[in-house]
């Protein structure tokens, strides 16, 4: 239960947790009063406050606020100067820390890029390179064949298909790490951010690196962490798994050891194969400002996230996980 002061300030109203969350989502005035977190991550990424002196009409210096969009600057540099060592975004604004409900835990990130080899652009492995060659049309072969008629100008062919020329990696810095509750979300969110930035600037996501400072496990998360780590499954548990996931009957339990020996999980919470993230950019904003008209424009994409019209360009399927599978959730109390 949450105690909320009424408008006249004379008494209080008790809200359930669910009621409070719903009002935060649906009532802007309520959210502004009771849900404001201060100038945290997004505010610093897209609107870092910078006081700047400007001459007014009387030729006097006046102090005016200027907002710096770090994401826009990052995308501009990635497009125009991808080898820069200054491709950074920072959320640790010392001058505004006292206005934040909680100072940033993950306080900044840096991206860096490298050129892809010709083989990497074609798929990397020998199998994928062979598959790529099979996709070459007769028209492309005639267009990009070299004079000796045995080789092709593969670079020009790849460029004509707008296949990325660079790979991009992201490293985030985190001062404080809640290992059980927070870190899994940090990994997933920065992984998604890397994928989106890579799509926006037509690069291939490469490495995701976490530079973690104070990494801790809270005392009231110990049992949950043990459950997450898991344990070896007993023979009875393996049999139950086979009976639940196959058509084996009780009287044929010998089949479990003979047929399902390799496929039966031997450990609780055994990791599943990683899912695949699919990002469809067909209808993302372009430089023209229209949905899907012309080549995708990195600046238009990220500027669009703050534009209500941007939603008209998005489909629900634009960001989608396929083959995602997880174990049952484990609850733990939130600490700070």
Query: Is 304 or 235 the better-scoring residue by pLDDT?
Result: 235
Burial classification of residue 233, based on how many CB atoms lie within 10 Å of its CB (0-12 exposed, 13-18 middle, 19 or more buried): middle
The SS3 of residue 209 is strand
Q: What is the pLDDT of residue 28?
A: 83
Number of domains in the chain: 2
Burial 246-283 (b: 16+ CB within 10 A, else e): eebeeeeeeebeeebeeebbeebeeeeeeeebeeeeeb
Asked whether the predicted pLDDT for residue 314 surpasses 80, the reply is no
> Does 190 map to a domain?
no
Asked whether the predicted pLDDT for residue 170 surpasses 90, the reply is yes
Owning domain of residue 27? 1-36
> Does 219 map to a domain?
no
Q: What is the pLDDT of residue 249?
A: 64
Among 266, 290, 316, the domain boundary falls at: 266
292 token code pair: 């899907």
Query: Is 186 or 267 the better-scoring residue by pLDDT?
Result: 186
Asked whether the predicted pLDDT for residue 83 surpasses 70, the reply is yes
Could you give the CA distance from residue 163 to residue 153 in angstroms, rounded to a whole number? 14
Could you give the CA distance from residue 223 to residue 332 in angstroms, rounded to a whole number? 9
- Beta bridge mates, 63: 53
pTM for this predicted structure: 0.81
Share of the chain above pLDDT 90, in %: 37
The residue ranges of DSSP E strands in 160-228, in sequence order, are 166-178, 204-216
167 token code pair: 């790979």
Could you give the CA distance from residue 108 to residue 53 in angstroms, rounded to a whole number? 27
> Does 124 map to a domain?
no
The SS3 of residue 166 is strand
Instruction: Calculate the alpha carbon distances from 284 to 75, 164, 312, 327 in Å.
Output: 16, 18, 9, 33
Active site residue 291: no
Among 266, 282, 313, the domain boundary falls at: 266
Asked whether the predicted pLDDT for residue 243 surpasses 60, the reply is yes
Q: What is the pLDDT of residue 286?
A: 65
Mean pLDDT of 255-274: 74
> Does 252 map to a domain?
yes
Point out the catalytic residue in the list 105, 291, 311, 313: 105
Mean pLDDT of 33-46: 89
> Does 1 map to a domain?
yes
Asked whether the predicted pLDDT for residue 201 surpasses 80, the reply is yes
Asked whether the predicted pLDDT for residue 148 surpasses 70, the reply is no
Query: Is 42 or 233 the better-scoring residue by pLDDT?
Result: 42
pLDDT band at 236 (very low <50, low <70, confident <90, very high): confident
Asked whether the predicted pLDDT for residue 11 surpasses 60, the reply is no
pLDDT in tens, 46-62: 899 888 877 777 777 78
> Does 260 map to a domain?
yes
> Does 6 map to a domain?
yes
Mean pLDDT of 63-76: 88
pLDDT band at 18 (very low <50, low <70, confident <90, very high): confident
Q: What is the pLDDT of residue 190?
A: 97
> Does 81 map to a domain?
no
Mean pLDDT of 62-77: 88
Query: Is 67 or 214 the better-scoring residue by pLDDT?
Result: 214
Q: What is the pLDDT of residue 84?
A: 97
């Amino acid at each position: 239960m949450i105690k909320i002061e009424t408008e006249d300030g004379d008494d209080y109203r008790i809200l359930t947790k669910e009621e409070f969350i719903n009002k935060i989502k649906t009532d802007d005035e309520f959210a502004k009063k009771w849900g404001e977190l201060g100038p945290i991550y997004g505010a610093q990424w897209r609107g870092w406050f910078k006081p700047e002196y400007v001459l007014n009409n009387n030729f006097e210096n006046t102090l005016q606020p200027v907002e710096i969009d770090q994401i826009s600057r990052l995308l501009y540099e990635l497009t125009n100067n991808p080898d820069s060592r200054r491709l950074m975004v920072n959320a640790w604004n010392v001058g505004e820390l006292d206005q934040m409900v909680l100072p940033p835990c993950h306080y900044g990130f840096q991206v860096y890029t490298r050129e892809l080899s010709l083989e990497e652009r074609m798929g990397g492995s020998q199998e994928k390179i062979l598959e790529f060659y099979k996709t070459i049309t007769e028209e492309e072969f005639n267009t990009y064949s070299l004079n000796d008629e045995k080789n092709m100008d593969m670079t020009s062919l790849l460029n004509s298909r707008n296949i990325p020329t660079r790979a991009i990696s992201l490293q985030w810095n985190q001062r404080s790490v809640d290992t059980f509750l927070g870190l899994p979300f940090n990994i997933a969110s920065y992984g998604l951010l890397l994928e989106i930035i890579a799509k926006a600037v037509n690069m291939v996501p490469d490495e995701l690196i976490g530079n973690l400072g104070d990494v801790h496990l809270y005392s009231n998360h110990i049992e949950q962490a043990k459950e997450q780590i898991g344990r070896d499954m007993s023979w009875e548990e393996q049999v139950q798994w086979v009976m639940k996931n196959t058509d084996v009957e009780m009287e044929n339990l010998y089949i479990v050891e003979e047929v399902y020996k390799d496929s039966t999980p031997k450990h609780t919470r055994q990791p599943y194969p990683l899912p695949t993230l699919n990002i469809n950019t067909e209808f993302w904003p372009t430089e023209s400002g229209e949905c899907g008209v012309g080549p995708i424009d990195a600046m238009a994409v990220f500027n669009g996230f703050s534009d209500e019209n941007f939603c008209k360009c998005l489909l629900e399927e634009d960001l989608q996980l396929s083959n995602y599978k997880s174990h049952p959730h484990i609850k733990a109390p939130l600490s700070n």
